[in-house]
Structure 1
Amino acid sequence: MPRIVKVAAAQIGAVHRDSSRDSTISRMIDLLNTAVSKGAQLIVFPECAFTTFFPRYLFSDPAEMESYFEDDAGGNSIADSKNVKPLFDKAREAGVDIWVGYGERTSSGQHFNTAVYFCGKTGEVISKYRKVHVPGFVNPPFPGAEVHLEKRYFETGDLGFEAFRAPGLIPNALKANTGEEDTDGKGDAIIGSLICNDRRWPESWRPYGLQGAELVLVGFNTNGKADDIYKPRQPISLEDAREQALFHHRLSMQYNSYANSCFSISAGRCGMDDGKFDLIGGSSIVDSDGHIIAEAKTVDDEVVFAEIDLEECRKGKKDIFNFAVNRQPQTYGIITAQKGYVEPKLLF
């Protein structure tokens, strides 16, 4: 039976260091309203969506750095935060689900790059994810370097890769205690979350695949500029650097969707922050065979919309990626036993 869900990626254009939280939230509400007008049930926003991508800066004022984070002691507190509450109120009013990334400050003073899934019908945050593969540096590698300092501002996510059920997206979804023996692909949608660099790592996706994920949600901020730190193999123009960054983004989303027989939605920031930080956009919706079925056409605020059928995931899950039949986990020990690469010994 078809399991249709109407989904949207809400791409956000340039947000500057001095952009107010209110102005950004207003733009996000406009995107939400546009998505709702198209019939969207689920809307995905980017990583660190409420502000500019602040980890690119080395802050001299700790108070300014802390201003980019939202207090979130657990439960529904982010949905009730005065800084961002209007967005969650609008989702609740419209009865739609949203996934949104932000900088989280815990009650114990930890800082994470976090995303939550908010169910508009119940008015609750039903899942939280913290970025695991935190890239970048603790300190600038040379004076004046403007690069991602994510390791300076974010700790490694500690919630793992836990899939969850999203209630209400699929009419007449099978519920618990019905006595049904064959529940495969009949319940509420199974969803996983990733943030930016996580999408590049197969280890991020496979735990969701092993939980039967049908839809993986990704928010990102990806630089399109070939800078002095992440140098390409050959000298490259800004245009070519952007195209290469887009290629790697698409490759990550398409292959991992295919390899785990799931749909994916990626929502990115884009445009030129503060006139010098180029972000690629490329927000997209990918099907369970790895095909892009909808993609952003601009580098500005834009809604990418598609109607997807989660029943299509069943083919891959029962065929080439039938994990129960074809996986051989007894041979994969090196994946968890080793962190960095170790070359084989030299010959002779």
Structure 2
Amino acid sequence: MPKQIGEASVTVAIIQMEPRFGETAENVARSIAFMEEAAGKGAQLAVLPELCNTGYVFQNRAEARALAEEIPSGPTTQAWMEAAARLNLHIVAGITERTGEILFNSAVIIGPNGLIGRYRKMHLWGDEALYFSPGDLGFPVFDTPLGRIGCHICYDCWFPESFRLAALQGAEIVCVPTNWVPIPGQDPSREAMANIIVMGAAHSNSVFVAAADRVGTERGQPFIGQSLLVSHTGWPVAGPASPDKEEVLIARVNLADARRKRNWNAFNQVLRDRRTDAYDEMLGSGQRPGWY
């Protein structure tokens, strides 16, 4: 059952790491070492980057398929489930998924008692479309003892509908495994565009956002780091992290504030004020609203 409003806060860890392409066993072992570090600092929820078990820059579909695994029977999910049970930890982490001949850019949501669910990236970026199929699970929100958890992956964040549908289903926090890359026109004196986007989404939907990016350069592609945890107000409570170093961010937040403190003033509440006479309540998605 989800926690009740006003219950104890949750300690969230954002794990910013540098996976090595194709070195799955080593990547998973290092991810678990970071989880152990986070759990040692009291973390109850750990968020890791996109495709952090395999790396990101595939050269062809055959390479992606060779590195993909089934969920939950594959070795990565099995290892993460063991770690979650041992560390009493909830985990959201990116994984290259195979189901039959279909490949997905996915994330697993795992708790101490095992697999809670999975999310498949809905909006593919660049040549991901050559290897992966678009997500087919919509935007599920998962009830956990810590609270209601939604999940997006990287480019999903550029679509306001993603966050709105999660919020309308009662999400208190949206976890984002991501591999942010440099954006053309970025002002080096300003925060990353990705940071601005998730801050705006958190504010306009009254949800916490935990975005775990990777660092390093893989097959010529640089990644920007700058992972962060954003409050339901839109302001960071941890991070942004370094643009080029592995790092574990830790912050304690009350996820219930995402719903309890959603009113901005005596008149305005961001989800209640929607004009559902002018647009479909669930944006035509067919998903069911939750309590919000």
> TM tier, shorter chain?
0.7 to 0.9
Match of 2:209 in 1: 264
1:35 maps to what in 2? 38
Of 66, 73, 96, which aligns to 1:103?
Answer: 96
* 3-state secondary structure, aligned to 2:11: strand
Please point out which of 260, 278, 284 is paired with 2:228: 284
- Aligned residues of 1:219 and 1:268 also touching (Cα < 8 A): yes
The answer to whether the 8 Å contact 1:270/1:278 transfers is yes
- 1:88 deviation in Å? 2.5
Measure the CA separation in 2 of the matches of 1:317 and 1:134: 34
Alignment check: 8 A CA contact 1:262 1:288 kept: yes
2:167 to 209, 218, 238: 209
Corresponding residue of 1:183: none
Q: How many matched pairs?
A: 274
C-alpha change, 1:208 and 1:83, in structure 2 (3 Å) is closer
Q: Percent identity?
A: 31
The answer to whether structure 1 residue 151 and structure 2 residue 123 are counterparts is no
Q: In structure 2, what is the Cα distance between the partners aligned to 1:129 and 1:284?
A: 20
Partner of 1:307: 252
Is there any run of 5+ residues in structure 1 with no aligned partner, and where?
137-148, 170-188, 227-231, 234-239, 338-348
Q: Which runs of 5+ in 2 are unaligned?
A: 1-5, 285-292
Give, in angstroms, the shift of residue 298 of structure 1.
5.0
- Corresponding residue number in structure 1 for 2:274: 327
For the residues of structure 2 that align with 1:297 and 1:254, how far apart are their CA atoms?
17
Counterparts of 1:1-348 in structure 2, within 5 Å, are 1-13=6-18, 15-17=19-21, 19-55=22-58, 57=59, 59=60, 63-72=62-71, 77=72, 80-83=73-76, 85-107=78-100, 109-120=101-112, 122=113, 124-136=114-126, 149-167=127-145, 169=146, 189-224=147-182, 232=184, 247-274=192-219, 276-295=220-239, 296-297=241-242, 299-313=244-258, 314-316=260-262, 320-324=268-272, 326-332=273-279
**Alignment check: 8 A CA contact 2:204 2:270 kept:** no
| Aligned AA (1:283) | S
SS in 2 for 1:71: coil
> Aligned partners of 1:267 and 1:38: how far apart in 2?
18
- CA deviations 1:169-203 (Å, max 9, x no partner) are 3xxxxxxxxxxxxxxxxxxx111110000011101
Tell me, in whole angstroms, the C-alpha distance in 2 between the residues paired with 1:219 and 1:266. Answer: 6
Using the size of structure 2 for normalisation, the TM-score is 0.86
Which of structures 1 and 2 has the bigger CA Rg? 1
CA distance in 1, matches of 2:168, 2:250: 27
TM-score, normalising length: structure 1: 0.73
C-alpha RMSD over aligned residues: 2.2
Q: What SS class does the counterpart of residue 316 from structure 1 fall into? A: coil
Shift of 1:84: 5.1
